[in-house]
Amino acid sequence: MKIASVIVDVPAMQTDKLFDYLVPEKWENTILPGMRVIVPFGPRKIQGFVTALKADSEVEHLRAIIEPQDLVPVLNGELLALGDWLAEETLCLKISAYQVMLPAAMKAKYEKSIRRLDHQANPLLDEMFGNKEEISWKEAEARNILPSLQKEVKNGSAEVVYAVKSKANKKMVRMISSPLSLDELNEKIGTIPGNAVKQKQLLQFFLVHPGAAVPAPELAKTADASSAAIKALIEKGWLREKRKELYRDPYEHSTFQKSDPHVLTTDQKQAIQPVLSSIRENRSETFLLYGVTGSGKTEIYLQSIQAVLNEGKEAIVLVPEISLTPQMVHRFKSRFGKDVAVLHSGLSIGEKYDEWRKIIRKEVKVVVGARSAIFAPFENIGMIIIDEEHENSYKQEDNPRYHARDVAIFRSKIHHCPVILGSATPSLESFARAQKNVYTLLRMGKRMNNQPLPDVSIVDMREELRTGNRSMFSTALFEKLQDRLEKKQQTVLLLNKRGYSSFVMCRDCGYVMQCPNCDISLTYHRHTNEMKCHYCGYQTFVPQVCPECGSSHIRYFGTGTQKVEEELGKLLPHARVIRMDVDTTSRKGSHERLLKSFANGEADILLGTQMIAKGLDFPNITLVGVLNADTMLHLPDFRASEKTFQLLTQVSGRAGRHELAGEVVVQTYTPEHYSIQLAGDQDYESFYRQEMMMRKVGAYPPFYYLALITVSHENVMKTVAAAEKIARFVQSRVSGQSVILGPAACPVPRIKNRYRYQCLIKYKHEPKLKETLTTLLEHFQHQIASEGLSISIDVNPNRMM
Ligand code: ADP
Ligand code: ZN
Ligand code: ZN
């Protein structure tokens, strides 16, 4: 008798444990750990993951598994272990940890079927599939042939497919080839009657292209033949048809020219050596590749990956979502061609699923993707790279609240392989670890072109105002803009949107429109003339008169990108401007299109938000202007200075990357702030020292660890009461070394009509903290389940809002 341990898909703490189920005899050889199954749960049937099989159970009267959901495991042993670890580290439910590792297409609601892949004559397959290409899971189940199908899936003759609704249905092509030898072809051509010219032409095609396999429509076109002629020849057995899936390749229209490795510079050689040894010696080691922008880090990634591929292993490369631009993808595709799968949020559910299956089927060896690509189901990982490791987007902001860096290090230990964290402005945490030799520091201080880093001037906007310049462009920036226009060179203008937005205010009474559900002012969107809430999506039209006092003197404040664009239009009417922000890039592919046209020189100025700060590598950019450097400094977040420094350094790095020297103008109202001064000097290490002092004084990371508990409820009194209870609960259980801040209202105190309070735990060493927090959640279970209280715990939070 076999027993399966199952994690069930019920998102609650009480059910976050293993349940034992009997494996029915007919499934005994089918069900394996890592498969999803349907099990009875109370009166319901639900999905679960089998985590292990065993011989007996302490529980009496076990119920039996109803049926399997998969024929091959969807999570291998490593990923199951990773899921358990994730659940423990991030305090999430095991079920969410398992689910986050799978593509969305595999959610239970999608219909499944089994498709035949092998079309050679095979009585077993013929029997199961008849003359059909695909049979539904239900039919296979009813006919009791799932166990035999499982064998075919294992040996690659069939596969389970998930019918993703909408446009994501699989495209199949009929590939035509000929089984005949050249002599046979010649002979058959001779036997074809004179009136069947088309058939002759078809066979002649294969005479000229021996061994070719061509999509049927293409063949018909090239050989100038009809599909009827093709069919006739297939019936005679002179041509053969095999169906092949056409992947929904988002890059199908791009061409990638093969790129060869560069000869490494001395700096690069020094940096790559330790990585190569670690690959050779199968050593799990974390490297921090700290290299200024343009120092050739990407080339280091490419050549390390080559070393890994030479060993027959696989590599995962994470890049921030925003820099998954064609430029970056191009560099990997042109080096490794079809061995690369790309995973990013712009793909449809079906496209993501396709890329995932290429990994499972071992058709690719390199994955380049955003955060969740860290779960790529490779089985022989030789290297994990995280580019721009300091980026916020590597931390997932809802359950499971994992950081890709931690997952990378976990997997590297299992696979005995190195991790490279790359950045020009490493996170303080990582640099501190490198200082303590927890990570191995690799430095590259020079740019490839030996160009000095661009010259940065900091402009005090208060001075500009005093001298009567009320425009959003300082005199210095404006003159340089004109100069670049004359020289036909390109400019990047950054409008720092974070912590800043355009809002509508009444000039008579000062009324600012607020979201009715959230305590935050609405953002004005010019092109639709609407007001939007960025937290809950609420939107409304701009009022003609002030709702408060009736005045018609209502106007919008703030410098949105649209407003900058307008002003540019007035001041420099001949300048061609491309604007990139959430509004112009929301449609699929638009991001790429805009960048491409800028690269082609179709515009003089690229104006945009944070999304333009990274990854651009265009030779003709010689000026970067930052319109408002300090808006982020005032956010209630202890990382505000770090984020400001990083952004300014990143965007400055866009200028002068090739032959032409670059220049940067930073406009600010707080020119004396160290993060702006030191970004101006491009002096990361001084910034690091200064900021470490601030963190030490404030008892923040990397000196202390943090855990943030956020409580929310529709009723403000209930929220406060629960938050206070929680603070007391934690206080009574942690050591005297730890500090508990709060409860206090969150920086955004209400979202979607729920009030929000938070407690922050700062600690150095609390071995029992996770246990305490788990107990806390259990303690409040009742209120969570029946009173609509919500408690979220973020261990090592990235965002303090
Ligand atoms: P980073 O990733 O550090 O910003 P890149 O890898 O983009 O730097 O390198 C900057 C430029 O230098 C790129 O255009 C790249 O193709 C080029 N480059 C990198 N390494 C070499 C090399 N060894 N020889 C010549 N050119 C190189
Ligand atoms: Zn008013
Ligand atoms: Zn809102």
736-763 pLDDT per residue, tens: 888 888 888 887 888 889 999 999 999 9
- pLDDT for position 499: 41
* pLDDT over threshold 80, residue 304: yes
- pLDDT for position 542: 83
Exposure b/e, 304-324, CB count within 10 A at least 16 = b: bbebbbeeebbbbbbbbbbbb
Q: Which atom of ligand 1 is nearest to the CA of 292?
A: 3
Query: What ligand is nearest to the CA atom of residue 443?
Result: 1
Strand 419-423 to strand 3-8: parallel, antiparallel, or no bridges (unpaired)?
unpaired
Query: Ligand 1 mean position to 316 CA, how many Å?
Result: 20
- pLDDT for position 794: 93
Query: What ligand is nearest to the CA atom of residue 539?
Result: 3
- pLDDT for position 338: 87
657 pLDDT tier (thresholds 50, 70, 90):
low
CA distance 492 to 142: 62
Domains within the chain, CATH numbers bracketed: 2-107 (3.40.1440.60), 109-166 (no CATH), 172-245 (no CATH), 266-444 (3.40.50.300), 455-500+558-695 (3.40.50.300), 503-545 (no CATH), 705-795 (3.30.70.360)
Computed from CA positions of residues 252, 254, 258, 264, in that sequence, does the dihedral angle turn out positive or negative?
A: negative
Query: For residue 308, what is the enclosing H or E element?
Result: helix 297-310
Q: Which atom of ligand 1 is nearest to the CA of 424?
A: 3
Identify the three-state secondary structure at position 345.
Answer: coil
CA distance 42 to 39: 10
Residue 6: partners with Cβ closer than 8 Å, 6 or more residues away: 18, 19, 20, 21, 37, 39, 48, 49, 50, 51, 65
* pLDDT over threshold 60, residue 641: yes
Query: Ligand 3 mean position to 11 CA, how many Å?
Result: 26
* pLDDT over threshold 90, residue 216: no
720, 770 in Cβ contact below 8 A? Answer: no
- Among 299, 420, 617, 657, residue to substitute to test ligand 1 (most atoms within 8 Å of Cβ): 299
Query: Ligand 3 mean position to 503 CA, how many Å?
Result: 14
CA distance 383 to 289: 14
- pLDDT for position 710: 93
CA distance 610 to 591: 13
- pLDDT for position 530: 80
Q: Which atom of ligand 1 is nearest to the CA of 299?
A: 6
Query: What ligand is nearest to the CA atom of residue 518?
Result: 3
154, 72 in Cβ contact below 8 A? Answer: yes
Q: What is the mean pLDDT of residues 404-426?
A: 97
Query: Ligand 1 mean position to 617 CA, how many Å?
Result: 10
Q: What is the mean pLDDT of residues 287-297?
A: 91
* pLDDT over threshold 90, residue 162: no
Q: Which atom of ligand 1 is nearest to the CA of 447?
A: 10
Six-digit token string for 681? 């000097």
Six-digit token string for 197? 């010219």
- Tokens 């931390």 belong to which residue? 395
Q: What is the CA radius of gyration of the chain?
A: 30
Query: Ligand 3 mean position to 632 CA, how many Å?
Result: 21
Query: What ligand is nearest to the CA atom of residue 327?
Result: 1
Rounded to 5°, the CA angle 268-282-342 comes to 65
Query: Ligand 2 mean position to 389 CA, how many Å?
Result: 46
742, 760 in Cβ contact below 8 A? Answer: yes
Closest CA to 288 of 409, 447, 426, 411: 426
Query: What ligand is nearest to the CA atom of residue 328?
Result: 1
353, 162 in Cβ contact below 8 A? Answer: yes
Identify the three-state secondary structure at position 24.
Answer: coil
Six-digit token string for 511? 């009324």
Strand partners for 8? 48
Closest CA to 351 of 588, 80, 117: 588
Query: Ligand 1 mean position to 614 CA, how many Å?
Result: 15
Strand partners for 455? 663
Query: Ligand 1 mean position to 299 CA, how many Å?
Result: 6
Q: What is the mean pLDDT of residues 540-567?
A: 80
CA distance 782 to 770: 20
CA distance 450 to 294: 10
* pLDDT over threshold 80, residue 518: no
Query: Ligand 2 mean position to 545 CA, how many Å?
Result: 8
Query: Ligand 3 mean position to 539 CA, how many Å?
Result: 8
Closest CA to 630 of 613, 647, 611, 615: 647
Burial class (CB in 10 A: 0-12, 13-18, 19+), 441: middle
Torsions phi, psi of 570, nearest 5? Answer: -75, -45
752, 536 in Cβ contact below 8 A? Answer: yes
Identify the three-state secondary structure at position 115.
Answer: strand
* pLDDT over threshold 80, residue 633: no
**pTM for the full model?**
0.80
Torsions phi, psi of 463, nearest 5? Answer: -60, -45
Query: Ligand 1 mean position to 31 CA, how many Å?
Result: 50
315, 233 in Cβ contact below 8 A? Answer: no
Query: Ligand 3 mean position to 522 CA, how many Å?
Result: 8
CA distance 612 to 490: 14
Chain segment 569-589, per-residue pLDDT in tens: 999 999 999 988 777 776 767
Q: What is the mean pLDDT of residues 663-668?
A: 90
Look at 120-124, 222-226, 399-403, 666-670 and tell me which has the smallest mean pLDDT. Answer: 120-124
Query: Ligand 2 mean position to 564 CA, how many Å?
Result: 26
- Among 259, 270, 295, 298, residue to substitute to test ligand 1 (most atoms within 8 Å of Cβ): 298
The CA distances from residue 742 to 724, 727, 759, 780, 800, in Å, are: 8, 7, 5, 18, 13
Query: Ligand 3 mean position to 761 CA, how many Å?
Result: 28
CA distance 184 to 747: 79
Separation of first and last alpha carbons in the chain:
52
Residue 400 half-sphere exposure, CB side, CA atoms within 13 Å? 28
Mean pLDDT (the chain, rounded): 86
Strand partners for 621? 490
Q: Which atom of ligand 1 is nearest to the CA of 298?
A: 6
663, 654 in Cβ contact below 8 A? Answer: no
94, 100 in Cβ contact below 8 A? Answer: no
Six-digit token string for 685? 């290490």
- pLDDT for position 474: 93
Query: Ligand 1 mean position to 560 CA, how many Å?
Result: 34
Query: What ligand is nearest to the CA atom of residue 332?
Result: 1
Query: For residue 276, what is the enclosing H or E element?
Result: helix 266-280
Query: Percent of the chain having pLDDT more than 70?
Result: 92
Strand partners for 384? 316, 419
Query: What ligand is nearest to the CA atom of residue 537?
Result: 3
279 pLDDT tier (thresholds 50, 70, 90):
very high
Q: Which atom of ligand 1 is nearest to the CA of 295?
A: 3
Query: Ligand 3 mean position to 593 CA, how many Å?
Result: 31
Chain segment 428-474, per-residue pLDDT in tens: 999 999 999 999 999 998 877 777 778 889 999 888 888 888 888 99
* pLDDT over threshold 90, residue 235: no
CA distance 613 to 615: 7
* pLDDT over threshold 60, residue 167: no
CA distance 320 to 331: 15
Strand partners for 550? none
Q: What is the mean pLDDT of residues 534-551?
A: 82
* pLDDT over threshold 90, residue 30: no
Residue 423: partners with Cβ closer than 8 Å, 6 or more residues away: 288, 289, 290, 387, 388, 389, 390, 430
Residue nearest to atom 4 of ligand 1 (CA): 294
CA distance 216 to 175: 6
Whether the upstream peptide bond of residue 400 has omega within 30° of 0, thus cis, is yes
Residue nearest to atom 5 of ligand 1 (CA): 296
CA distance 234 to 239: 5
Query: For residue 710, what is the enclosing H or E element?
Result: strand 705-713
Whether the upstream peptide bond of residue 179 has omega within 30° of 0, thus cis, is no
Q: What is the mean pLDDT of residues 233-237?
A: 87
Higher per-residue pLDDT: 17 or 635: 17
- Among 448, 453, 652, residue to substitute to test ligand 1 (most atoms within 8 Å of Cβ): 448
- pLDDT for position 168: 44
267 pLDDT tier (thresholds 50, 70, 90):
very high
Helices then strands, counting H and E runs in the chain, come out as 25, 33
Residue 508: partners with Cβ closer than 8 Å, 6 or more residues away: 546, 549, 551, 553
Query: What ligand is nearest to the CA atom of residue 538?
Result: 3
Query: What ligand is nearest to the CA atom of residue 516?
Result: 3
Query: For residue 749, what is the enclosing H or E element?
Result: strand 739-751
- pLDDT for position 618: 78
Mutual angle of helices 326-336 and 590-599, in 10-degree steps? 80
- pLDDT for position 88: 92
Count of other CB atoms within 10 angstroms of residue 512: 12
- Tokens 């209870």 belong to which residue? 725
Look at 249-263, 362-376, 727-741 and tell me which has the smallest mean pLDDT. Answer: 249-263
Protein residues near ligand 2, an ion, with CB under 5 A: 506, 508-509, 511, 546, 548-549, 551
Mutual angle of helices 297-310 and 326-336, in 10-degree steps? 30
CA distance 693 to 678: 15
Strand 523-525 to strand 577-580: parallel, antiparallel, or no bridges (unpaired)?
unpaired
Ligand 1 neighbours (beta carbon < 6 A) = 262-265, 268, 291, 293-299, 448, 617
Higher per-residue pLDDT: 241 or 167: 241
CA distance 411 to 394: 16
State the amino acid at position 514 in one-letter form: Q
Strand 134-136 to strand 3-8: parallel, antiparallel, or no bridges (unpaired)?
unpaired
CA distance 413 to 237: 53
Strand 134-136 to strand 111-116: parallel, antiparallel, or no bridges (unpaired)?
antiparallel
Q: Which atom of ligand 1 is nearest to the CA of 293?
A: 4
